Structure formats: structure tokens, C-alpha cells
Structure 1
Amino acid sequence: MERNQHYHEARRQVERRIGFGIHLAVFATVNSGLILFNLLAVPDRLWSIWPLAGWGIGLLFHGLAVALHAPGTHWKQRMIEQEMKKRS
């Protein structure tokens, strides 16, 4: 039973990483297009920085969510165990 649970956790983590990779690729593609369009259409006004910054913040949080769910980063469980040791 535990082996099956480890498989599902590993599979879910791989899916998270793939999802982040897709998000990163779409981010790079779309923002490159926006920057190119901005420089060709209105070169004296850089408006493309705003979608880049906003989406970049979202991408950062997506990356953090993936990293904090990575195997070996069970920080919450470690904190609980440390607190339990203090109380015993």
C-alpha cells in the first residue's frame, strides 16, 4: 500500500514539473512575441514590460509551489516533528 502511495506522489510531482515547464515555455513564447510587436509597432513606448512583469510574478509563484512540493522538502512535517520533540 505504501509503495502505491509513493508512486502516486512521485507521479504528481512529475506532473507539477511538466506543468511548470509548459507554463515557462508559453511565458517565453508569448512575451517574446509581445516584446517584438511592441518594438515594431510602438518603439518609443515600452508597454510590453507590464504583462511580462505581471505574468512573471505568477510564474515565480508557480515555480515556488512546485519546488515546495518536491520530495525531500517536507518542511511542514519536519516542523511538526520538531515541535513534538520539544513537548516530550
Structure 2
Amino acid sequence: MEAKPNNREQFERAKKRVDEIKGFYGHLTVYILVNIFFLVINLLTSPEHLWFFWPMLGWGIGVAMHGLRVFNYMPFFGKDWEERKLKEFLEEEERQKEKFKNEDHGKL
């Protein structure tokens, strides 16, 4: 499907978003399959010592963070946060320029 030139940027953003979501679900699928494998290996080789939950816990934290980022639930470092910070820095820079300009004109 060919996107119209004026919608190209919007199409690219949507495609990137779909790719990010697909990547997360791929990551989640591998996480589940590998951890089932670890569980089976653990129960077959040393059922008295359950170690499978350690890699499951560590990797699970990574999967959870990946999901939070992909679905924009990161309150501190999500896209909204980035946009707010960029806007804040740009506004601060403009204020500094105006302040400097006003100080220069006062000296003349």
C-alpha cells in the first residue's frame, strides 16, 4: 500500500509503532518458551533445588520494562516525557536569549 506524500511521515510513525509492538510480542514469546524449557530442565535434573525462577525473574524485569516502553506506560522516560523536556529546554533557552538581549539593550 502506497501512502500519499503528505501522509508519508504519519505512515512511517505508524509502521514504526507496529514494528515495536511486534518486537515486544516476539520478546515475550521467546521469554515464555525459554522459561518453560528452563522449568522442564530444572525439574528433570534437580527438582530439590529450584533455580529456574532466577533467570525468569531477571529476564521478566527486562520484558516488563520493554512492554512499559512500547505501550507508553513509562511515566519518567516515555515519549511524552521527552517531548515535555524538549519543550522545557527550548523555552528556557528562549528566556535566556531574551534576558541577554534585554541586558544588552540596557547597556546601550
Name the larger-Rg structure. 2
Task: Within 5 Å, give how 1:30-41 maps onto structure 2.
Answer: 30-41=34-45
Q: Where in structure 1 do 4 or more consecutive aligned residues deviate above 2 Å?
A: 73-81
**Distance of 1:49 and 1:5 partners within structure 2:** 43
- The CA RMSD over aligned residues, in Å, is 2.2
Deviation, structure 1 residue 2: 4.6
Aligned residues: 80
Query: Which residue is equivalent to 2:50?
Result: 46
Higher relative contact order (CA 8 A, sep 6+): 1
Correspondence for 2:80: 75
Distance 1:75 1:44 in 2: 48
Superposed CA deviations along residues 32-75 of structure 1, whole A, max 9, x for unmatched, are 00001101110000011100000000000100110118xxx863
- For 1:53, give the aligned amino acid: L
Q: How does 1:4-23 map to 2 (within 5 A)?
A: 4-23=8-27
Alignment TM-score, normalising by the size of structure 2: 0.64
Return the TM-score normalized by structure 1.
0.77
Q: Secondary structure at the match of 1:47?
A: coil
Show structure 2 runs of 5+ residues with no match.
92-108
